[in-house]
Structure 1
Amino acid sequence: MAKRLATEYVNARLQLSADDLDRFVRFVGGQNIRIRVRVVGCGNQEMALVDETNGEEVSMTFEQRDDRFVCELSCRLVHPKLTNALRRAVSAFRGDAVVNRIYSGFTMTYYYKRGAVHKIVEHTADGVRVVFERRDTVGELESLYVSRQVEREIERIQDAIDELLDLRNQCTSPSEKQAVDERLRQYTKQLFILEAE
């Protein structure tokens, strides 16, 4: 098995409520990582996560924005203890991140969205290969359902237009024809909008 040389967090982002921030501190501390917290101006908090076995450290700044604390982070880690703690935190607190796991001869890039891996890409000297990509099955089914709903609405409008055309052929006065023509214009406009979707 290949030995990981380093892990790079590129544009990792966590958005936490005040309660989540307290849970974050307890969560990371529960993984035998020492945390130093410092409150700075405007309620922002600076944290240093330290692996005391090897001295590796990562600094995180949580900026207070309205009722959330937002941390945007880029760092490079070498030792597994702090790397694993940060990976678990991104997952547990539904963070977004691009993570490069660097091995000798290749790099695996993990794309996290809301704490879950959505894509894994392998980079080698020979090129780039997508190893895994999460499909949005629920989203695909929802869009299929919506498209069928539009098709049913189109059919309903076409039936109403057919009935109005039959009614127009039976009209005896110009005012009756004009009223039917106005309704036909409205249905035609709706049909045009639905077919554009």
Structure 2
Amino acid sequence: MAQRVATEYVNASIQVTEAEMPILMSLCEAQQLRLQVFVLDNGNHEVVLQDEAGGEAIRLTFERIHGHYVCVLSCRVEQLKLTNVLRKLISAFKGDAVVNRIYQGFTMVYHYLEGKVIRIVEVKGDQHKTVFEHRDTIGRMEAQFRRQTVEEEIGILRRAVNELLDLRNQTSAAAEIADIDERLQHHSRLLFALEA
């Protein structure tokens, strides 16, 4: 199995409420990392995570915006525990990110949306190969439901056309026939559009 060289977080963003901030801190502490929290004068929070050996560290700045704390982060991480805590934070707090997991000779690019991986792309030089892409099952089911609604409309229009044709066969007045023909023409255009 390929050994990961480093992980790059590109424009990762996490948003937490004030009530969720202690949960975020406990999640970081559970990863056995050194944790320092600074509360700045303007209410912003700065969280410094460092591996146990005191080597690599990352600094997360949470800006207070409209009652939420927002952290936008771009960094390169080599230490596995730091990588794992960032992944867990993005997942737990429904963050968005592009994460480059760099291996010798290739890179795996993970696209996160609302904490879930929606796409994974393998990059080797100039070649890009999609390994995984999230399929919107609920969206497809809703589209199917809408298609059934269209089928119901087609059924209603066909019944209306049949009634108009019966009425036309029973009518002998030229003015009424012209009116029925105009309505039939309108209905046939609608049917054509719906069936397409």
**Normalized against structure 1, the TM-score is what?**
0.81
The aligned length equals: 196
In 2: Cα distance, 1:132 partner to 1:74 partner: 23
Aligned ranges 1:1-197 → 2 under 5 Å: 1-40=1-40, 42-125=42-125, 127-171=127-171
Q: CA deviation at 1:150?
A: 1.3
- Give the secondary structure class of the aligned counterpart of 1:10: strand
Question: Aligned-residue CA RMSD in angstroms?
Answer: 2.9
Residue 59 of structure 2 aligns with an amino acid whose one-letter code is S
**Normalized against structure 2, the TM-score is what?**
0.82
Residue 136 of structure 2 aligns with an amino acid whose one-letter code is D
Flag structure 1 segments of 5+ consecutive residues without an equivalent: none
Q: Which moved further from structure 2: 32-41 or 69-78? A: 32-41
Cα distance change, pair 76–151 in 1 and its aligned pair in 2 (3 A): same
Q: Which moved further from structure 2: 102-111 or 184-193? A: 184-193
Cα distance change, pair 30–164 in 1 and its aligned pair in 2 (3 A): same
Identity value in percent: 47
In 2: Cα distance, 1:193 partner to 1:37 partner: 61
Flag structure 2 segments of 5+ consecutive residues without an equivalent: none
